[in-house]
Structures are given as C-alpha cells and as structure tokens.
C-alpha cells in the first residue's frame, strides 16, 4: 500500500475551493431559474417584484397556478408515465446488453458496440426525425401490402416511449456494464460448485451485486426521459403534451 502523499494546507484549501466553485457553477443556474417561480410578476424576469405562491396555488387568471392548470398537470402526468415506461425498459434491456457485451464473444461485437453508442452522438431532433420516417415508412408499407394498420408505429405515446428508449437504454447499458466489469466471477463459480442453478446464481449473487448500478441507471433514465423535448416533439403527433 502506497503511503499517503503529503499535501500542503494551501493545496487542500485550493482543492476544496475548486470543488465548491464547481458545484456552485452547476447549481446556481438552476437556483436562479427556480426562483422565478416565486416572483410576483407576470414574466420570469428581473427586477424582483416580491415573493408569492400564486404560480402554484392561485386558481384565477392571469396567474393561474400549476396545481389548477389542467393542461400542465396532464402533461406532467403523461411525462411521468412515459418516464416510468422508458425506465423499466432501459433497465431490463440495459442489463441484458451489459451481460452480452461483458460476458460473451461474437462476430462483429465491436461494430455492434459502436451501433449501441451512436444514439448518444446523434442530435435529438435528427434521431426523432429518423425514427419517425422509419416507423411511418414501415407502417405504410405493411398497410399497403398486407392491409394491417400498425397503429403503434404512428406518431403517438407508444412511439415516444420507443424513441426515448432508443437512446436512453445506451446510457443504462454503460452504467450497468461498468459495474458488471468489476464483478468477481469466482463467486459465481463457487455457487455452481455448491449445486446452485444458473437462475439461482443470477438471482442471489449477480443481480444483487448489480442492484446499485441498476438503481443509478434507473434514476438517470427517468430524469432524461422526463425532461426530454427534442425527440419527443418529433414523435408525439397529436397526443397530449408530454413535456
């Protein structure tokens, strides 16, 4: 074990100051924007007109509160539902992808991994348009040749879930893969030697080890889905607003 490298008080103070300023840089814009929700003004701008709860609880115009605005509450509810669906799918498929890329060797593995990462570098609007064109073309082709109307491929709620899932599952895969890569497989081998089945090993050893990463991936997936706008805008169609 390497001995601790001595550090001067100036270094420690500078390091702590850097960490503090870094988090201030991240949080300050959010605090400033959130503060306008309590500004007694018709517009989110300075100067500050006074503190008020009207933008949350007022039931009359022009300051109709959030909890009395049916369209906003409906949008939040639909966004919450979509985020839950995307989170569940992302964790399930992300865990499967993690096992696939960390435990197995197959042809074109590197190429498949690059395809997995592509949604992260494609702009959200382009991704949404691509999914919309592909799904509409497929739905129209099936309807013209077979006569089936694949409604789930048309712009709407289900297509929004599939569109968000297309790139959010990549992040879930990366988070869970990083945890799985550190797993000591001798624990599984010991369980097999004691007569445990593959399912029992997965349920009692591997998945409990992956649980923190799965929970972390779930939180990230939920937040990214809930705040997503670009891809959603391209795929929502005439359904209720999702964000």
pLDDT given for residue 233 in this prediction: 84
Query: pLDDT averaged over consecutive 10-residue blocks of the chain (243 residues)?
Result: 65 90 93 87 81 86 83 88 95 94 90 90 87 88 84 84 92 95 89 88 92 95 91 75 49
Residues 91/222, Cβ–Cβ less than 8 Å: no
pLDDT given for residue 1 in this prediction: 43
pLDDT given for residue 243 in this prediction: 47
Domain spans in the chain, listed from the N-terminal domain onward:
8-68, 70-235
Specify the pTM: 0.80
Within 13 A of 238's CA, how many CA atoms are on the CB side? Answer: 0
Distance in angstroms (rounded) separating the CA atoms of residues 172 and 120: 12
pLDDT given for residue 238 in this prediction: 65
| 51, β-bridge pairs | 39
Pick the CATH number of 70-235 from 1.10.3720.10, 3.40.50.1100, 3.40.50.620, 2.40.280.10: 1.10.3720.10
Residues 116/173, Cβ–Cβ less than 8 Å: yes
Phi-psi region of 156 (alpha: psi -120 to 50; beta: other; left: phi over 0): left
């Amino acid at each position: 074990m390497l001995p601790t490298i001595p550090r001067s008080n100036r270094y420690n103070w500078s390091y702590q100051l850097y960490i503090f300023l870094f988090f201030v840089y991240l949080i300050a814009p959010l605090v400033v924007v959130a503060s306008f929700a309590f500004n007694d003004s018709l517009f989110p701008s300075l100067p500050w007109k006074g503190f008020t709860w009207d933008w949350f609880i007022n039931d009359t115009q022009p300051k109709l509160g959030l909890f009395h605005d049916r369209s906003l509450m409906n949008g939040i509810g639909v966004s919450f539902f979509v985020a839950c669906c995307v989170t569940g799918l992302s964790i399930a498929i992300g865990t499967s992808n993690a096992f696939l890329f960390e435990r197995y060797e197959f042809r074109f593995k590197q190429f498949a991994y690059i395809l997995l990462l592509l949604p992260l570098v494609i702009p959200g609007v382009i991704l949404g348009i691509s999914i919309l064109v592909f799904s509409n073309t497929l739905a129209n082709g099936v309807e013209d040749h077979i006569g089936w109307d694949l409604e789930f491929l048309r712009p709407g709620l289900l297509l929004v879930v599939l569109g968000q899932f297309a790139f959010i599952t990549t992040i879930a895969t990366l988070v869970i893969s990083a945890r799985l890569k550190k797993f000591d497989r001798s624990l599984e081998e010991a369980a097999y030697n004691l007569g445990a089945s593959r399912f029992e090993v997965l349920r009692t050893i591997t998945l409990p080890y992956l649980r923190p990463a799965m929970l972390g991936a779930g939180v990230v997936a939920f937040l990214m889905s809930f705040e997503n706008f670009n891809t959603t805008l391209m795929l929502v169609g005439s359904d209720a607003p999702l964000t």
